[in-house]
Structure 1
Amino acid sequence: MQDWTSECDVLVVGSGGGALTGAYTAAAQGLTTIVLEKTDRFGGTSAYSGASIWLPGTQVQERAGLPDSTENARTYLRALLGDAESERQDAYVETAPAVVALLEQNPNIEFEFRAFPDYYKAEGRMDTGRSINPLDLDPADIGDLAGKVRPELDQDRTGQDHAPGPMIGGRALIGRLLAAVQSTGKAELRTESVLTSLIVEDGRVVGAEVESGGETQRIKANRGVLMAAGGIEGNAEMREQAGTPGKAIWSMGPFGANTGDAISAGIAVGGATALLDQAWFCPGVEQPDGSAAFMVGVRGGLVVDSAGERYLNESLPYDQFGRAMDAHDDNGSAVPSFMIFDSREGGGLPAICIPNTAPAKHLEAGTWVGADTLEELAAKTGLPADALRSTVEKFNDAAKLGVDEEFHRGEDPYDAFFCPPNGGANAALTAIENGPFYAARIVLSDLGTKGGLVTDVNGRVLRADGSAIDGLYAAGNTSASLSGRFYPGPGVPLGTAMVFSYRAAQDMAK
């Protein structure tokens, strides 16, 4: 017999978009629910995100007049992923409309369609995208909960609170979900509560042991435990053991948060794992403190390896960019790489960079270097001068023609999505010719790892023999992603986390 500290129907570990969707799904059906967040703020990596959510064929796309459907999305996933995980693919796209319908029944939650292209050219692709986003949120609308949401990445990593103005992107999503969960009257939201182990009786997970306020608590969960608490991105030791490319300090996860606690707890009770060497990769602009900033939306410049040569289309979707870096890397030949750019934007990087450190700080720290000539830039970076000069000249010739014969930059709708008109035939190709010239160090970052506990269509954690562990569920980056080594479109991490957390809660409610 256990000496329980507290009791609930559903225990949710984590507080990102997936975890809170699961908590709301349970609580809205009258199940008493406890949400545990490891840190002092809710939201995890979801709060840092732009909150595009890949939930296809819903009432939101219908309101926008978008010619999307469940079948179209299924076609796209099959064309890209094949028949691997076909049952979970089907469960994902077939459940998405129900998830959105449930959430939008709550007055705190509303979504809209915002254009952002799917990431691969495959049958069923939407060139305009099919992702949905939460509406911006006035902090006053959710009262004290606003201060409990993790601030945006720029603010959070510099120890600041929320910037003035409306909560947007991931913060709006988390704020709205928190308000919805609280409105049920059936949920308790706890911060600074760290999962240390799962409690098993007669082969069933019946609760969890948690450290909070210096005390050990034992929480009973009558219906089950849902773990949606991120991956191993912040755990250098687990990354090394799994062979996950990149470094923990380069990850975009909240520092000290996503260290694989839930995955380790699942393994300890017999859960199987997969894809632990995988992540939602992205290029990262190395920061003066050794961390990295998420780089997306490249609209100028070019990227070279240590030999001073291009090796990829710089406008690729970020996961494909990161994978190209890793595939090309040979004894550090591509990690770090260098982004070469000119002064068209006043010395600023021709890309979106989050957090966006001032160029002067980069130049002072040496993570960027500047020079009046390409030869001088080569000397400062250690790149071969002749190779760098040749690469830039070849790129400039391509920009004038509007055709990148080597890497096809600008041929895909995604490539030009962030690019303003440049007066040429290809908005994604702009010549590098206005000195001074700059080189920024680019490393292999990620938005979180995507390997974890193996689960079924209802998020139940499976053993190596395929049997389910009663009472234990996982979703989001705590589970092994159905998309394998692909990142199909903007918001697939959030979308899958929300769908399978919803399905887990529904399974517990039966």
Structure 2
Amino acid sequence: MANTAHTEHSTEHSTGHSTGHSWDEECDVLVVGSGGGALTGAYGTAARGLDTLVVEKTGHFGGTTAYAGAGLWLPGNQAQARGGVEDSAELGRAYFRAVVGDATEHALQDAYLDHAAATVAFLEDSPHVRFEYRPFPDYFAAPGRFDLGRAVFPVDLPAPGAPHALVDAVRPPAWAERLGLPAPEGPLTDGRALIARLLLALDSTGNGRTRLRTALTRLITEDGTVVGAEAEHDGRTLRIRARRGVLLAAGGFEANAELRRAWQRLPGADWTMGAPGANTGDAISAAAGAGAAVGQLDESWWCPSLRFPDGSAAFTLGLHGGIFVDGSGRRFANESLPYDRMGRRMLAAKAGTSHDNPVWWVFDGRFGDELPGITVVPADRAAFTEAGLWRTADTLAGLAEQIGVDAEALSGTVQTFNGHAEHGVDADFQRGEDPYDRFFGQGEGTNPCLVPIEKGPFHAVQIVLGDLGTKGGVRTDADARVLREDGTAIPGLYAAGNTAASVSGPCYPGPGVPIGSAMVFAHLAAAHMAGQRTDG
């Protein structure tokens, strides 16, 4: 990739800001990150004729989006209509407002909801991008809820018939990367399909360039305006000029143990689903250094996670058997709750939040060597058993001894739960009464979410509080412009995705809000940098 050099002179205003040295590279728009939000923004500016450079810290495109199922919560879009789903921004607003309320500014919520459909339409103008509706329930019982969901997903992308520099550099699925396996052959699916489609769309404009292994170190400002950035590439510092603006969409700080201890009071960063080598808060720190206000730093997209022998953890959802018990041997929540809501129950109960207070997923022998639920990285029972993370006994009393809980408490918990299963009603936590619960239920009784625990051997597998990423970051306005503490926008600086404080605040309303909102605000940022307004 050719570099350009141009000498700029300016007056230094504060330590670490503009320097008057030459530029190593220039572009109209610099995009930091390569997830769904970043690439939507990059395509948005490139398709409008702006020279766009994407820099990605790691050796793969896609960030955590590449790991995701890539449902997109974008009410009223044309892909929903093709799938026979009648939705609108107003229906989405009724639901979103009922769930999120006043936790975030209504103007920000409205920007998301009013431009969701336009974002899909803009992207599908490219022949490389296509979405389809698939059922996946909204997460709360609230006005405007769709029991079968409103999310759209990227259509699978056939594998290239020959090597393709961009597609071949898409991050492997989580299970492959965590287990050290190559990316699977065949079509790209889910988040990998979204990333590959957006890369192909970007490339087709003729205005997009990409750099892997290029890490943002700081932003460069002149007279309060962000005019570029410094980045490290191959041991060299590059000064990149951005004539129209910089879009920060490089994820959150989920992989930064120091920041998580400081901002979230968690023991570290081992249990996140963030992509390795990424999401260490570089973009948030750089923006703060340029005067950006931050918010929601204590928030994440939480999820119960299976603890692995190497100390990591993997997102777990869709339980179709078993119960969760805390250190007392008792249940503390509806185990079939949507994952962020279950994660928040774990936080409230202080269960599974550190190494010395694990949650145990207890189930019986009817499932054999399989876990009765969905984990994004498969578990090897032998390895988990050797590490003490999967324990087995012929009796509940024996299992209680192995996991260090009171035998009578565990036996009583299971006996009570089995009674609920017999009658089809969870009188303690209402498991199986919500459409989301039943979406994953596979039991044979009147309540498919309540499967009795009665056939030995009995098993307990360790569950901890994980996350899909942090959701606190820089504050932004309805055009995705980054704001100062006084509420004014920093010229030339935009943010989307987990680099920005989330439009959903402390809530996770439905499948695809994280990536969907990232894409909408990146789309709005692109339009603003191009001097255009989008259709609402």
Per the shorter chain, which TM-score range? over 0.9
> Mapping of 1:386-465 within 5 angstroms?
386-420=408-442, 422-465=443-486
Match of 1:95 among 115, 128, 132: 115
Percent identity, aligned pairs only, is: 54
Contact 1:24–1:181 (Cα < 8 Å) also in 2: yes
Match of 1:77 among 80, 96, 103: 96
- How many angstroms apart in 2 are the aligned matches of 1:290 and 1:427? 33
Contact 1:279–1:450 (Cα < 8 Å) also in 2: yes
Alignment-derived partner of residue 146 in structure 1: 167
- In structure 2, do the counterparts of structure 1 residues 182 and 108 end up closer, same or farther at CA, with 3 Å as the change threshold? same
5+ residue gaps in structure 1? none
Q: Which amino acid aligns with 1:85?
A: E
* TM-score normalised by length of structure 2: 0.93
1:415-456 Cα offsets, whole Å, 9 max, x none, are 011122x32110000001111110011100000000000000
Q: Does 1:478 align with 2:494?
A: no
- How many angstroms apart in 2 are the aligned matches of 1:266 and 1:227? 8
Q: Which amino acid aligns with 1:16?
A: G
> Mapping of 1:171-320 within 5 angstroms?
171-245=192-266, 247-320=268-341
Alignment-derived partner of residue 520 in structure 2: 499
Alignment-derived partner of residue 136 in structure 1: 156
Q: Which amino acid aligns with 1:303?
A: F
Q: Which amino acid aligns with 2:430?
A: H
1:403-422 Cα offsets, whole Å, 9 max, x none, are 001000000000011122x3
**Range 152-161 or range 17-26, more displaced:** 152-161
- How many angstroms apart in 2 are the aligned matches of 1:136 and 1:361? 33
Cα drift, residue 335 of structure 1: 4.0
Contact 1:247–1:445 (Cα < 8 Å) also in 2: no
1:284-320 Cα offsets, whole Å, 9 max, x none, are 1110101101101011100000000000000000000
- How many angstroms apart in 2 are the aligned matches of 1:304 and 1:195? 43
What value does the CA root-mean-square deviation take over the aligned residues? 1.3
Q: Which amino acid aligns with 1:13?
A: V
- In structure 2, do the counterparts of structure 1 residues 272 and 430 end up closer, same or farther at CA, with 3 Å as the change threshold? same
- How many angstroms apart in 1 are the aligned matches of 2:112 and 2:287? 23
Q: Which amino acid aligns with 1:122?
A: A
> Mapping of 1:4-15 within 5 angstroms?
4-15=23-34
Alignment-derived partner of residue 337 in structure 1: 359
1:208-238 Cα offsets, whole Å, 9 max, x none, are 0010011110000000000000001000001
Aligned length: 509
Contact 2:335–2:431 (Cα < 8 Å) also in 1: yes
1:44-85 Cα offsets, whole Å, 9 max, x none, are 000000010111100011111112111000100111111332
- How many angstroms apart in 2 are the aligned matches of 1:467 and 1:42? 33
Alignment-derived partner of residue 159 in structure 1: 180
Alignment-derived partner of residue 326 in structure 1: 347
Match of 1:385 among 407, 414, 438: 407
> Mapping of 1:18-57 within 5 angstroms?
18-57=37-76
Q: Does 1:109 align with 2:148?
A: no
Cα drift, residue 333 of structure 1: 10
Cα drift, residue 161 of structure 1: 2.0
Contact 2:393–2:399 (Cα < 8 Å) also in 1: yes
Cα drift, residue 254 of structure 1: 1.0
- How many angstroms apart in 2 are the aligned matches of 1:409 and 1:55? 28
Q: Does 1:126 align with 2:138?
A: no
- How many angstroms apart in 1 are the aligned matches of 2:366 and 2:188? 32
Contact 2:40–2:519 (Cα < 8 Å) also in 1: yes
- How many angstroms apart in 2 are the aligned matches of 1:196 and 1:332? 31
- How many angstroms apart in 1 are the aligned matches of 2:501 and 2:267? 19
* TM-score normalised by length of structure 1: 0.98
- How many angstroms apart in 2 are the aligned matches of 1:16 and 1:495? 11
- How many angstroms apart in 1 are the aligned matches of 2:132 and 2:264? 39
Secondary structure of 1:249 counterpart: coil
Secondary structure of 1:139 counterpart: coil
Q: Which amino acid aligns with 2:108?
A: R
- How many angstroms apart in 2 are the aligned matches of 1:447 and 1:182? 28
Cα drift, residue 255 of structure 1: 1.8
Cα drift, residue 165 of structure 1: 2.1
Contact 2:167–2:199 (Cα < 8 Å) also in 1: no
Secondary structure of 2:38 counterpart: helix
